[in-house]
Chains A and B, each alone.
Chain A
Amino acid sequence: MKRFALAGNPNCGKTTLFNSLTGSSAHVGNWPGVTVEKKDGTYKKLKEPISIIDLPGIYSLSPYTSEEVIARNYIIDEKPDCVINIVDATNLERNLYLTTQLLEIDVPMVVAINMMDILNKRGDVLDLEVLQEKLGIPCVEVSALKEDHLDELMKAAYEASKQPRIGRSVFLNKDLVHLIGDVKIAFEGKGVDNPLFHAIKLIENDEVEVKMHGDLVKMVDEFKKTFNDDVFGDDIEAVIADSRYKYITAEFAKALTRNRRSDDDEVISTQSDRIDRFLTHKVFGLVFFAVVLFLAFHLTFSENLFFLGGLFKNVVPSFEGSIYEGLFWSESGINSPGVIMFNFFDMSFSALTDAARGGLDAALGVGHWFTGFLCDGVLTGLFAILGFLPQILLLFLFFSIMEDTGYMARVAFIFDKLFRKFGLSGRALIPMIMGFGCSVPAMINTRTLADDKEKIATVRVIPFFSCGAKLPILLGIAGAIAEVFGFSNVDLITYSMYVLGICTAVIAVLIMRNTTLKGDSNPFIMELPAYHLPQFKALMIHLWDKAKHFVKKAFTIILASTIIVWFLTNFGWNWHMVDSVGDSILGSIGQLIQPIFTPLGFGSQLSPIGWVFAVAAITGLIAKENVIATFISLGTVAVAFLNSGVVDPSVIEAIEADENGITATVAMIHATGITWQGCISFIAFNMLTIPCFAACATARAELPKGKFKWTLLFWILTSFIGSAFVYCFLSMFSRATLAWAIPVTVGLILLGVCGGFCIHFYNKRQRTRKLGA
């Protein structure tokens, strides 16, 4: 099958063209070794099917970003049958800059001129015949969006692919042409493919080229000595870039007739400028951003849409009495679209599980291990993950719209300075904020970060931005603290835990960017794309793709992990099912690891039943809601422990009736003898530790190879250090513990500050040493 590669600048309509050409046959993966998206699909309207490869959007073939290297290597090494270069007609000069570089490679090529309609609307005219003649390759006017002339384009590409094309360069400078000719001969002598391309890149002192053809460097340097430009001297890199642009303005621009009005005023205000005046304004810009964020979260997670709850106080829940009771609204308010979808899945799933359980109970007898395995292990675990899919996708959709319209680039622009202080760019803000909803779409969103180190740092701290599923832990335990210890400000606990997460994230990023993930960030030299309306089709393709990947993960890695945890919870070491978690493998693991939580306040200082906290933390890996679910199921065990085995059935009922888990947690606090400091430390531990399996699976897919295991270690370490600090810090406020807590806390703070200074001065010394060398 013939292979055509799409190449072009970012924001030139390349992805739209790809979607239009390939339709549903598109397949998304990663380029080997990097987390840059690779898309390929099939075009079927020609005599034979054509494989279309979407190369990353690039401005040039320099070797400085992974996108550029990928595109370049693909064309040079994989030798596609034709390169289709998409050019945005409204931004001709910069788009043709890439074209001049592609022209140098010995590969058949056609140019697709996109967005001609916008150009014409401005009153400008582009003469394709002239441009085609100057470029020496076919040019086809297309509209990627309206899918106009795509067949023509593909026919032209098909014709072009039939015969080889020899690369040509576009320089007017005679000395330069001469120099290139000499080096090209040397490459031809070596029998290298694409001699012209390699010759120019070597003259440019291109890193990759110098490494590959080191033997020729000396000779080229000799040649270069004879070269001297009036303006640039011997700075050939600048000469070449400049010559390309000069050629473009001198030759290709002849094809473009500008409307006189825009000629007079180069900086004429466009529609995007007018929007920007508001959206990047000092005050309105921030307000607008806050409102957009609020809406995205509100429409995804709210159970009281637009705060209309009061209106529905006396209305019965929707579908009362059916399995879908409360699907659209309940007494407390109208549900947001996200919650409605969540409810629909959740209610259907639990009805399904109940039906399966009923059927199996009838067939196998009540309490058979297989019923437990299927219903509690497989189905509950799977549904817990799949139930979140609608909300994950909806949140992802809102942020994709912001990305597609060009608004995200503005957000990065506004917040860049703030984030630079922590060694990140403004782009990192969005995934972090998404983390408050769900870590899964947040981690996927880190793809927009150009720098790998920045991406790793961001993925690692995303779980610290406490997601929706962690809120029940907060509310359940904080509620119990209020009840047992008479602490009335539950919201203060909740609020400070969110702040703790953000502070930990900031400190962790600062430490990583100065130690393990050191390095300059990528240049923040980016185009602010013109605003445009989001495209429904592209968004849906994007979402469908994410859903597919997530479901695949849910059925493989996440399901497997869930089954393992179910097995550990329900089986003893003798491979028989047990009645109480206390006798299970997980229970004994909990008892075994209980001592390591001592510095965190929920370890050996508790009563023998203190292992419940360790167990709840482990079951929380399936989904964070499970922490409270485990508390509820262990509440009975706690009561039994307190009353030496005798449990009043009404107590069990009360525990199981309280869905928020406050009653169960209260029983747990009484049985284990945990202090309020220990309780808060336990919340902190769950906030900072390894996120749920779904987030882990996403992190593993998004992180570069080999980084996931270190990320797991990072989460474990951070949660231990973080909650140990929280425990010590809070223990200062209790008369019984302040004697040891004050010196330890002060010691920890001093240690942290000293460590910070050591890193700072070590890095400073390294830097001066490097400069000295």
Chain B
Amino acid sequence: MTDTIVEHADRTLEVGTPLVEMTGVGKAYGAIRALEGIDLTVNAGEVTCVLGDNGAGKSTLIKIISGLHPHTEGTLKVDGQEVHFGSPRESLDHGIATVYQDLAVVGLMEVWRNFFLGSEIRKGRYPLAPMDIKGMREIADAELRKMGIAVKDINQPIGTLSGGQRQCVAIARAVYFGARVLILDEPTAALGVKQSGVVLKYTAAARDAGLGVVFITHNPHHAYMVGDHFIILKLGRRVLDRKRSEVTLEELTAEMAGGQELEELSHELKR
């Protein structure tokens, strides 16, 4: 499973090098401030977990890093250079790839078309140049086999694969195209236990290959299994920011569950 990642990972990556640095980043949609004062660093070879309940600002954070919505406050640096992404393409060109939970793939398109979507291999540079379909099929097939994803037919619509397999195809695709920063948006949210395990292993493999991973989730158990650094968001603000050595799973779980609020609630509901 690690073959693909190690093969395609950028060999110049050194563990601990900051790849993405956010300082005081915020985002306002008109009068609504979805996110403010976020400091976050993504280091090579580390998994930064961003936890939070629905509406905590996780999605906004991802959208800023992946170029879907530009930030309105603070600075975003990639490799030490300040950037302001106007489109996902710009973010991708900086080696930042995002794998979304629900929109990772186009269900009705074939597996190989999904694998190469947006980065198709062409046989020429002129408009309407034919794609190298045979080559793309072979590469996609080989890469998926290396991962142990059993696809009967590389030409089948990707919607026929299981949820975990689809996530893995999306992650493999990102890594194959030279991603150095991988953003995983709730990769395990819709998956069963076994399939979550597959995705978590793959996440750890990406980390070990030296990629910087941002793991977005609302499941502290999953986060704690792979994370090096934990950030909890609540109503667009950061309420916890700890290294792995500074926090236990219990603290994380309690904080996620609502911490102080939960205690008050349990007091209130005491029977």
| A and B: bona fide binding partners | no
B interface residues (Cβ-Cβ under 8 A, vs A): none
Residues of A whose CB lies within 8 Å of any CB of B are: none
